């Protein structure tokens, strides 16, 4: 007998404005309880210190969470120069640093230039990356340090927006897997004084931006499930920037059986949204990939019981 899921079958994407002081998993559990939902997952961890855009995928939307995990991110960060911490942020123990009064705007700009484009980053021991099944931060708290391989990430931009005293603010646009705390540490090293993150806010994650983010205060003010569900974005919003392939019902029938289909005027390569034409409406079926012969193969399909 199939195991019965507890909770409501909620489907969609909730863009939460994560508050500081809690983990991304805390956000997931809190939202799951509020909605009484069967299944919820986040799309990339934010440190407890961080706030801002954290998309949560409910139900069938979890099939598309990987695309959000792989998407670019944008951040605002405040960095304090002259102080080095064990974690690279304000939550860690101070372990060093030197006076930063000699640092100039020109020096900061020059150092930032070297931290743009494709760069190598060694993940912090206080990151959520796992080593033999254990998150690195858990090992670090036990005083254990393990070797980490450098990873290639892309920093599209790291704009200096404010510099005052020994603190500066940056806006960073980067690829998945980029650690802003590591940028702060490397910047501090390049300036010869050290540095760490004292403020971090995610401004965008993939297609979702800060003005769309919903606070827990607003969520908790909802009086019923209908009010809560109205705050969910449709599943297809997770891939809203992808090309659309529209098909008639007969073609959609074969696609939903897992068969590649031929669709006139479809893109010639890449991943696409799959839409069925239903009268004057369009129904999102999932996403597919264009094969070498031009047919569209289904890759992730939504299934509603």
How is 96-155 classified by DSSP, letter by letter? E----TT--HHHHHHHHHTTSEEEEEPPPTTSS-EETTEEHHHHHHTT-------EEEEE
CA distance 87 to 230: 39
Block residue for tokens 């990151």 = 127
Query: Which run of H or E residues covers position 32?
Result: helix 24-35
Per-residue pLDDT of the chain (305 residues; tens, 9 = 90+): 455 668 899 999 999 999 999 989 999 999 999 999 999 998 888 888 899 999 999 999 999 999 999 999 999 999 999 999 998 999 889 999 999 999 999 999 999 999 999 999 987 777 777 777 777 777 777 777 888 888 899 999 999 999 999 999 999 999 999 999 999 999 999 999 999 999 999 999 999 999 999 999 999 999 999 999 999 999 999 999 999 999 999 999 999 999 999 999 999 999 999 999 988 899 999 999 999 999 999 999 999 76
Alpha-carbon span 96 to 117, nearest angstrom? 29
Cα dihedral 16, 18, 19, 22, rounded to 10, equals: 130
β-bridge pairing 151-164 and 40-42: unpaired
Kindly report the number of other CB atoms within 10 A of residue 101's CB atom: 10
SS3 60: helix
Q: Locate all alpha helices (DSSP H) within 114-224, ordered by sequence.
A: 136-141, 180-190, 216-220
What lies within 8 Å, CB to CB, of 32 at 6+ separation is: 7, 40
Strands 244-247 and 271-278, bridge-based pairing: parallel
Residue 196's SS3 state is strand
Residue labelled with tokens 């099939």:
63
Catalytic positions are 47
Closest CA to 166 of 78, 81, 102: 81
> Given the structure tokens 């942020």, which residue do they identify?
89
Please give the Cα distance from 19 to 122 (Å, whole number): 27
Q: Count how many Cα atoms sit within 13 Å of the Cα of residue 192 in the half-sphere of its side chain.
A: 6
Nearest to 39 by CA among 17, 59, 53: 59
Strands 195-205 and 51-58 come out as parallel
Per-residue pLDDT at 1: 45
> What pLDDT was estimated at residue 88?
92
Supply the pTM of this predicted model. Answer: 0.92
Predicted pLDDT at 305 = 63
Burial status of residue 116 (CB atoms within 10 A of its CB: 0-12, 13-18, 19 or more): middle
In this structure, the chain runs to a length of 305
Pairing of strands 73-81, 84-85: unpaired
- CB under 8 Å to 39, separation ≥6 — which residues? 5, 7, 58, 59, 62
């Amino acid at each position: 007998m199939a195991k019965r899921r507890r909770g409501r079958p909620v489907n969609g994407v909730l863009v939460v404005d994560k508050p500081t002081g809690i983990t991304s998993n805390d956000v997931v559990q809190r939202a799951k309880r509020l909605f009484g939902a069967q299944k919820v997952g986040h799309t990339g961890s934010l440190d407890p210190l961080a706030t801002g855009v954290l998309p949560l995928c409910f139900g069938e939307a979890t099939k598309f969470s990987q695309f959000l995990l792989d998407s670019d991110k944008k951040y605002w960060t405040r960095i304090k120069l002259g102080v080095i911490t064990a974690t690279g942020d304000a939550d860690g123990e101070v372990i060093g640093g030197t006076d930063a009064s000699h640092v100039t705007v020109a020096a900061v700009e020059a150092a930032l230039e070297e931290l743009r484009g494709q760069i190598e980053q060694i993940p912090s021991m206080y990151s959520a990356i796992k080593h033999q099944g254990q998150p690195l931060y858990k090992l670090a708290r036990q005083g254990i340090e393990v070797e980490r391989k450098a990873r290639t990430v892309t920093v599209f931009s790291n704009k200096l927006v404010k510099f005052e005293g020994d603190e500066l603010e940056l806006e960073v646009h980067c690829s998945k897997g980029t650690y802003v705390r590591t940028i702060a540490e490397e910047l501090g090293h390049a300036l010869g004084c050290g540095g760490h993150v004292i403020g971090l806010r995610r401004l965008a994650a993939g297609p979702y931006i800060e003005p769309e983010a919903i606070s827990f205060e607003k969520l908790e003010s909802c009086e019923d499930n209908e009010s809560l569900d109205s705050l969910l974005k449709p599943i297809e919003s997770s891939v809203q920037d992808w090309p659309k392939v529209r098909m008639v019902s007969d073609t959609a029938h074969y696609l939903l059986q897992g068969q590649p289909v031929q669709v006139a005027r479809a893109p010639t390569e890449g991943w696409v949204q799959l839409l069925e034409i239903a009268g004057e409406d369009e129904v999102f079926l999932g996403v597919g990939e264009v094969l070498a012969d031009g047919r569209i193969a289904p890759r992730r399909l939504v299934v509603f019981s």
